């Protein structure tokens, strides 16, 4: 317990000394400098103002650390730096003789660094054992720990008394700082030495002489009648002042400043007492002259310092004007460079737009040419077709009057929901899909619109892709249950049609959905037979030979690359003729399978590009199914941005890479 109290006191005292040492090394004016003063003495004088403002806060921090068992190094460094900051504010803004000299950045940084060092010193000596003294006092208060004489209990009082006694020197330092004299101690010692020395000279018969102490040097002043008397009187003064000469910090040695009287003046017979009075008056007059000369030198030094300050200010203003001119020139240069960069960027953008327009025009020209050629091929095939192959289209199924009510009831009773960012149909909706499929088979004159939706949490492009993927998932589930693909129209609306526009979890969950609607019409009834109305009305074409299929299908697929707008999965209307040509050839080649490959440009994340390419491939596959190509012979694959046609980073390259192209393979015959 005693060791803990001593550690606290020692740590606090050494921490204050560490701060004073740092302040002394960096010349912070905590104590007025005195010529010839030693470093230890100035260090001790610098302790006084530091202890005055550091003790209250330090004692409060120690008490909190002891009570709460705070032992971290960071705590003590923070406390030390905080006390250093408080000390800087107190020294720089509380009136005292050194107030103006304290308002510098160097003083603030030095006190902050010194405070942090002091906190580390205290932590090393006592802070890392914080709480030990309190724990010992608590144990001393328990009856089970008392010895026969009850010494453990009395140790609580002992520890408290020792702690107060240890803090007593710090309290005395603070009291001295608060009540310190106006005259610094070295100056007071010098004045006392001058008075004692002048008295000793008078006792030695040199009443006209006096002792002056400047910078630890004793000067014997006065007026002697001649040079011989001047030398003899200085020897007498040296003997009289021998007892106080050689003291460090007061009078290190003596110098002879006795002047000789003017020899041209005739000697005046006066009494001994009158001579002594005149000598004293003369000495006083000389001292006044010396003080006047010193004041003149001081005024000249101040004038020179003021002139130097004005010159420094002029040079600083000139440097500032020069820096401002250089900054203005640099800003003008930067503006010119920025204008050049913007001009180059505008030129590059114009070139990219021109290239893009040229590519789009070329693609449009090729599409028109391909459409015209496909139409010519179709006309030729019709002209050369076998008249016996013409068949009468089967009668269209008749709509059931109860279908509207049944579809409305089914779609009202169940809503298909999806998890966040998910497009997989949950098993809980299998029964609903079975019910819709049964209704669709019974109501063969109806087609189904499948609308996918997303919530408001993602970007527009991501939400559009996710909603389309959800609609395609429901469409594939119905196709798997025997519903013709041509009767199913899947479309994604992103987040453009929310049920609940609120931005909360419940609203987001309601908006992640797929909605179904039944559309009566002849298109659906014709699609029930696996083909469109135009195909039903057109005479059936016989299958092509394998060699002809390879040639014609490869040519049709090669000419049918489909481009997409940015972040879009919609098949533009200008590609309908190309897809119709592919469908006509594919239907006459039953042993060939078509792979629909979706692609995206390299902008965007890999996951977003993959989803976008999948959606584009499925959109084209759905279009071919709608044109009568059996869904079992079509597969859709998204490749993201992994297979670009053009690897540059221009807009024209991005437009080329946003595409769907085709591959063809030969398979076993498909059942017709």
Domains of the chain: 2-178 (no CATH), 188-263 (3.30.70), 396-538 (3.30.1330.60)
Confidence (pLDDT) at 489: 83
> 3-class SS at 596?
strand
Q: What is the pLDDT of residue 144?
A: 44
Cβ neighbours of residue 128 closer than 8 Å, sequence gap 6 or more: 71, 73
Least confident of 33-47, 419-433, 594-608: 33-47
State the Cα–Cα distance between residues 452 and 464, nearest whole angstrom: 9
Quote the pLDDT of residue 550: 81
- The answer, yes or no, to whether residue 70 has pLDDT greater than 60, is yes
For the ranges 11-25, 236-250, 588-602, the maximum mean pLDDT occurs at: 588-602
How far apart (Å, rounded) are the C-alpha atoms in residues 629 and 594?
Answer: 10
**Residue with the larger pLDDT of the pair 245 and 320:** 320
Is residue 628 scored above 70 in pLDDT?
A: yes
- Res. 184 pLDDT band, cuts 50 70 90: low
Is the pLDDT at 530 greater than 60, yes or no?
no
What pLDDT shows up at residue 105? 87
Report the predicted TM-score, pTM, of the whole model to 2 decimal places.
0.29
544 DSSP assignment = P
According to the model, what pLDDT value does residue 374 have? Answer: 56
- In tens, the pLDDT along 303-319 reads 999 999 999 999 999 99
Q: Take residue 631 and report the two structure tokens written for it.
A: 């869904």
Q: What is the mean pLDDT of residues 149-159?
A: 51
Q: Do residues 612 and 600 touch, judged by C-beta distance below 8 A? A: yes
User: What is the Cα–Cα distance from 484 to 447, expressed in whole angstroms?
Assistant: 9
- For residues 599 and 657, is the Cβ–Cβ distance under 8 A? yes
pLDDT of 670 above 60: no
* Closest residue by Cα to residue 210 from 297, 292, 288, 293: 288
Q: Are 189 and 249 in contact (CB under 8 A)?
A: yes
Please classify residue 204 by burial: count the beta carbons closer than 10 Å to its beta carbon, then call 0-12 exposed, 13-18 middle and 19+ buried: middle
Task: Name the residue among 573, 572, 569, 578 with its Cα closest to residue 624.
Answer: 578
In degrees and rounded to multiples of 5, residue 256 shows phi and psi of -90, 105
Distance CA 543, CA 529 (A): 19
561 and 574 in contact (C-beta within 8 Å)?
A: no
Say yes or no to pLDDT of 423 above 60.
yes
Distance from C-alpha of 111 to C-alpha of 91, rounded to nearest angstrom = 11
Q: Rounded to an integer, what distance in angstroms lies between the CA atom of residue 9 and that of residue 292?
A: 52
The burial of 270, by beta-carbon neighbours within 10 Å (0-12 exposed, 13-18 middle, 19 or more buried), is given as exposed
Q: Which residues neighbour 403 within 8 Å (Cβ) at sequence distance 6 or greater? A: 439, 442, 443, 445, 446, 518, 520
Computed over its alpha carbons, how large is the radius of gyration of the chain? Answer: 53
Give the span between the Cα atoms of 105 and 110, in whole angstroms.
8
pLDDT confidence bin for 199, thresholds 50/70/90? confident
Distance of CA 97 to the CA centre of its chain: 44
Comparison of pLDDT for 241 and 116, the residue scoring more: 116
- Backbone φ and ψ for 513, nearest 5 degrees, come out as -150, 170
On whether the CB atoms of residues 472 and 625 are closer than 8 A, the answer is no
Do residues 570 and 564 lie in contact, with contact meaning Cβ atoms separated by under 8 Å? yes
State the first-to-last Cα distance of the chain, in angstroms, to the nearest integer: 101
The pLDDT of 384-399, averaged and rounded, is: 44
Give pLDDT tens digits for 466-506.
888 898 899 889 998 888 887 888 888 888 889 888 889 88
What b/e readout covers 45-68, taking b as 16+ CB neighbours within 10 angstroms?
bbbbbbbbbbbeebeebbeebbee
Reported as a pLDDT band with limits 50, 70 and 90, residue 1 is low
- Give the three-state DSSP class for 663: strand
Q: Which residue has the higher pLDDT, 151 or 543?
A: 543
**Separation of alpha carbons 127 and 119, rounded Å:** 9
Q: For 558-562, 567-571, 578-582, which range has the lowest pLDDT when averaged over its residues?
A: 558-562
Q: Which two tokens stand for residue 140?
A: 């001393």
**pLDDT, mean of residues 403-419:** 87
Helix then strand count (H, E) for the chain reads: 20, 11
Give the mean pLDDT of the chain.
Answer: 78
- Whether 211 and 193 have beta carbons less than 8 Å apart is answered as yes
Q: List the one residue out of 148, 130, 18 whose CA is nearest residue 83.
A: 18
Closest alpha carbon to 564 in 477, 481, 661: 661
Per-range mean pLDDT, top range of 90-94, 199-203, 658-662: 658-662
Token pair for 26: 């960096």
How does pLDDT run across 497-529, given as a tens digit for each residue? 898 888 898 899 999 999 998 887 544 433 433
Sequence-separated (6 or more) residues with CB below 8 Å from residue 322? none
Residue 598 backbone class (left: φ over 0; alpha: ψ -120 to 50; beta: rest): beta
Query: Mapping DSSP to helix (H, G, I), strand (E, B) and coil, where does residue 79 land?
Result: helix
Alpha-carbon distances of 600 from 4, 157, 641, rounded to whole Å? 74, 84, 5
For residues 436 and 478, is the Cβ–Cβ distance under 8 A? yes
**Is the pLDDT assigned to residue 397 strictly greater than 50?**
no
Please give the structure tokens belonging to residue 166.
């240890």
Any idea of the CA torsion for 51, 56, 62, 66, to the nearest 10 degrees?
Answer: 150
555 or 571, higher pLDDT: 571
- Split at pLDDT 50, 70, 90, the class of 273 is very low
């Amino acid at each position: 317990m005693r060791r803990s109290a001593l550690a606290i006191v020692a740590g606090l005292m050494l921490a204050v000394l560490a701060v004073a040492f740092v302040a002394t090394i960096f010349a912070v004016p905590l104590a007025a400098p005195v010529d010839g003063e030693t470093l230890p003495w100035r260090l001790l004088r610098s302790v006084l103002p530091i202890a005055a403002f550091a003790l209250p806060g330090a004692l409060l921090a120690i008490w909190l650390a002891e009570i709460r068992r705070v032992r971290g190094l960071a705590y003590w460094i923070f406390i030390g730096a905080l006390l250093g900051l408080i000390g800087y504010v107190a020294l720089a803004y509380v009136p005292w003789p050194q107030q103006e000299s304290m308002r510098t950045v160097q003083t603030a940084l030095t006190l902050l660094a010194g405070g942090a060092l002091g906190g580390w010193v205290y932590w090393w000596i006592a802070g890392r054992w914080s709480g030990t003294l309190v724990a010992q006092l608590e144990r001393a208060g328990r009856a089970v720990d008392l010895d026969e004489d009850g010494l453990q209990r009395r140790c609580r009082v002992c520890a408290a008394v020792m702690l107060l006694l240890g803090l007593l020197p710090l309290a005395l330092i603070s009291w001295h700082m608060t009540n310190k004299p106006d005259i610094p101690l070295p100056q007071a010692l010098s004045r006392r030495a001058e008075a004692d020395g002048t008295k000793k000279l008078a006792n030695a018969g040199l009443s006209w002489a006096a002792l002056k102490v400047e910078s630890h040097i004793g000067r014997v002043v006065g007026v002697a009648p001649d040079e011989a008397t001047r030398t003899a009187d200085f020897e007498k003064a040296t003997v009289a002042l021998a007892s106080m000469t050689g003291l460090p910090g007061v009078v290190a040695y003596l110098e002879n400043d006795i002047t000789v009287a003017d020899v041209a003046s005739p000697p005046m017979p006066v009494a001994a007492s009158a001579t002594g009075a005149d000598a004293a008056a003369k000495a006083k007059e000389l001292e006044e002259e010396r003080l006047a000369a010193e004041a003149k030198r001081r005024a000249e030094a101040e004038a020179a310092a003021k002139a130097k300050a004005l010159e420094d200010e002029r040079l600083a203003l000139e440097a500032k004007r020069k820096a401002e001119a250089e900054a203005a020139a640099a800003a003008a240069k930067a503006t010119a460079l920025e204008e050049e960069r913007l001009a180059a960027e505008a030129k590059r953008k114009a070139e990219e737009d021109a290239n893009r327009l040229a590519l789009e025009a070329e693609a449009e020209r090729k599409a028109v040419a391909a459409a015209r050629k496909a139409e010519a091929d179709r006309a030729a095939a019709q002209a050369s077709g076998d008249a016996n192959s013409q068949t009468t289209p089967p009668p269209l199924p008749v709509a059931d009057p109860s279908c509207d009510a049944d579809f409305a009831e089914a779609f009202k009773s169940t809503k298909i929901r999806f998890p966040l960012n998910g497009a997989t149909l949950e098993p809980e909706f299998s029964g609903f899909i079975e019910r819709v499929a049964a209704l669709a088979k019974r109501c063969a004159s109806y087609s189904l619109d499948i609308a996918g939706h997303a919530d408001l949490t993602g970007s527009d492009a991501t939400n559009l892709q996710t909603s389309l993927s959800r609609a395609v998932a429901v469409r594939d589930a119905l196709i798997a249950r025997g519903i013709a693909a041509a009767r199913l129209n899947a479309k994604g609306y992103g987040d453009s049609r929310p049920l609940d526009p609120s931005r909360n979890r419940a609203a987001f969950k309601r908006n992640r959905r797929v909605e179904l609607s039944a559309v009566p019409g002849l298109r659906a009834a014709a699609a029930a037979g696996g083909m469109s109305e135009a195909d039903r009305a057109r005479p059936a074409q016989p299958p092509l030979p394998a060699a002809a299929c390879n040639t014609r299908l490869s040519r049709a697929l090669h000419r049918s690359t489909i481009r997409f707008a940015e972040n879009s999965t919609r098949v533009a209307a200008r590609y309908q003729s190309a897809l119709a040509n592919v469908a006509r050839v594919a239907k006459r080649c039953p042993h060939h399978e078509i792979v629909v490959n979706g692609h995206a440009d390299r902008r965007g994340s890999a996951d977003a590009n993959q989803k976008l390419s999948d959606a584009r491939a499925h959109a084209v596959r759905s279009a071919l199914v709608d044109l009568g190509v059996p869904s079992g012979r079509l597969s859709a694959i998204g490749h993201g941005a992994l297979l670009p046609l053009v690897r540059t980073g221009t807009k024209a390259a991005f437009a080329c890479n946003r595409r769907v192209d085709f591959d063809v393979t030969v398979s076993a015959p498909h059942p017709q």
